[in-house]
Structure 1
Amino acid sequence: MDGKERRLRRILNKETGRSLVIAVDHGMALGAMTGIMDVAKTVRELDATGKVDCWLMTKGVYTHAFDPVGDPAVILRASGGATIAGPELTREARTATAEEALMLDADAMATTAFVGSVYEHETLISMAEMATECRKWNMPLLGVIGLGKTNEDKKKDPKFIGLGARVGAEHGADIIKTYYTETDFDKVVAGCPVPVMIAGGPKCETDLDTLNMIYGALQGGAKGIVMGRNVWQSPHPIALLSAVHGLIHGNMDVREAAQLLEHEISASV
């Protein structure tokens, strides 16, 4: 075993090979928002369930608001520098180094590449350079495949999503975070030589929609989720987290997970 394998084992459950990662890095571009207005409170409450394998966050949140109940893994967000108030959200650049991640005792780093966007070249080169740096320290790299507004319509296109997943792996990512496609998602996974995990994207209309999306992704070969607002913007985030955990680590189907969700909601009233 080396350092990278040890860190990956903290992220991906040794028994199931899957992971439930909750992302709270949205504030770096979107500011304070419902569900993570008080991000420290969100972390404490969700982590207290014991269902979260890993958190994805920025160094600012890690330093000032991360006080988990347990000892979950951490993926440090290492790209950013653009907001919704600026001219181009896809113009991300480096915001952290591998040495900084090690100093914070993070288990992995994450950077975004916006495939098909005007900043495709810059963000892919940044991913490749970060992969090289991470390799020196046996630090895993999560490759986040972003779309940008101009490619939003391609989110459901398995060929485009498959392209992004494969390109991220080719540029050195050890895990890929991308979008779930309702058709041919198994082909997206089959064409990517590293584990694929799904993003939540915009908030689903219902918790059942979230469960259906996650179940479909798992059936297609995904190794779990890296998801934020579809959990912490739910009307019942703790109950939903239990149901999502049942899908990922308990091999539940959607019916069983939905029943667990309703049970947890009733028990909390």
Structure 2
Amino acid sequence: MNGFQARMKRIFRKGNGKALVLAIDHGMALGPMTGIMDVKSTVKKLDAPDLVDAWLLTKGIYVHAFEPVNNPATFLRISGGATIVGPELTREGLTSDVEEALRLGSDATAASAFIGSPSEHETLIQMALAATECHRWNVPLLGVVGLGKINEEKKKDAKFIGLGARVAAEHGADLVKTYYTEENFDRVVTGCPVPILIAGGPKCDTDRDTLAMIHGAMQNGAAGIVMGRNVWQSPHPEALLAAAHGIIHNNLNVQEAVDLLESKAAQ
């Protein structure tokens, strides 16, 4: 077993090969927001090694606010450089590299590519070059497929989402984070040669909606989730985390997961 395989084994649960990744990298573009206003407290509250397989975070949070009790797997976000108040949120560049990830003790890296945006070319080139450097050190790269300010219908279009996932893999991503489509998501998975983890996307209306999305993705071949605000902006984040874990690792259906959430929330 080489270093790449060892790191992948830390991310994906032994037995079913699935992963629940909790993302707290949103502040790099959105600043302090509900749920991660005090990000150190969020980490402390949701630090459950039996539930969370890995965390996705930026180097600033890694150094200043990430103090888990145990030793979870981590993805270091190595792209950024744009904010919600700037001229173009998709205009990301590389903000770190694999060597910094290794110095911090991270298991994997994550970089964005914005398909269909004005920054498509630059972000894809950056992802591809980052993948080359990561592979030199046997470090997995998560390709985060972003869409930018694009027609909302395209986010529901399995053909378009499938294109983005495949393109990220073709440019060297070892894992892909992309949007879940209610129709034909199995085709997105089939067309991508690397594991797909679904993004939480915008905040769902209810926790049941979040759980239904996770269940639909898992039933159609997803390797797991990379989810942020739909967990830590939930009225009951710890309970939702347990319910999501139940779907991913214990094959719960939506109603069983909702029952678990309500039971945990009532405690």
Q: Identify the TM-score tier after normalising by the shorter chain.
A: over 0.9
Identity between Structure 1 and Structure 2 (%): 67
Give the structure 2 partner of residue 9 of structure 1.
9
Deviations 1:141-168 (A, max 9, x none): 0000000012433100000000000000
How big is the shift at 1:171? 0.3
**More deviation in 142-151 or 171-180?**
142-151
SS in structure 2 opposite 1:68? coil
Quick one: distance in 2 between partners of 1:248 and 1:5?
21
The residue correspondences of 1:38-77 to structure 2 (distance < 5 A) are: 38-48=38-48, 50-77=50-77
Does residue 142 of the first structure (1) align with residue 139 of the second (2)? no
Quick one: distance in 2 between partners of 1:151 and 1:8?
34
Give the structure 1 partner of residue 254 of structure 2.
254
Give the structure 2 partner of residue 101 of structure 1.
101
Give the structure 2 partner of residue 25 of structure 1.
25
Quick one: distance in 1 between partners of 2:48 and 2:161?
34
How big is the shift at 1:16? 1.1
Segments of 5+ residues of structure 2 without an aligned counterpart are none
After TM superposition, the runs of 4+ consecutive aligned structure 1 residues lying more than 6 A away are none
Give the structure 1 partner of residue 155 of structure 2.
155
Quick one: distance in 2 between partners of 1:223 and 1:115?
22
TM (normalized to structure 2)?
0.99
Deviations 1:160-205 (A, max 9, x none): 0000000000000000000000000000000000000000000000
Give the structure 2 partner of residue 204 of structure 1.
204
**Contact preservation (8 Å) 1:50, 1:70:** no
2:237 alignment partner AA: P
Give the structure 1 partner of residue 264 of structure 2.
264
Quick one: distance in 1 between partners of 2:262 and 2:112?
36
**Contact preservation (8 Å) 1:49, 1:238:** no
How big is the shift at 1:50? 3.1
**Contact preservation (8 Å) 2:112, 2:127:** yes
Deviations 1:221-264 (A, max 9, x none): 00110010000000000001000000000111111111111110
How big is the shift at 1:87? 0.3
The residue correspondences of 1:167-178 to structure 2 (distance < 5 A) are: 167-178=167-178
Quick one: distance in 2 between partners of 1:253 and 1:143?
28
TM (normalized to structure 1)?
0.98
1:174 alignment partner AA: D
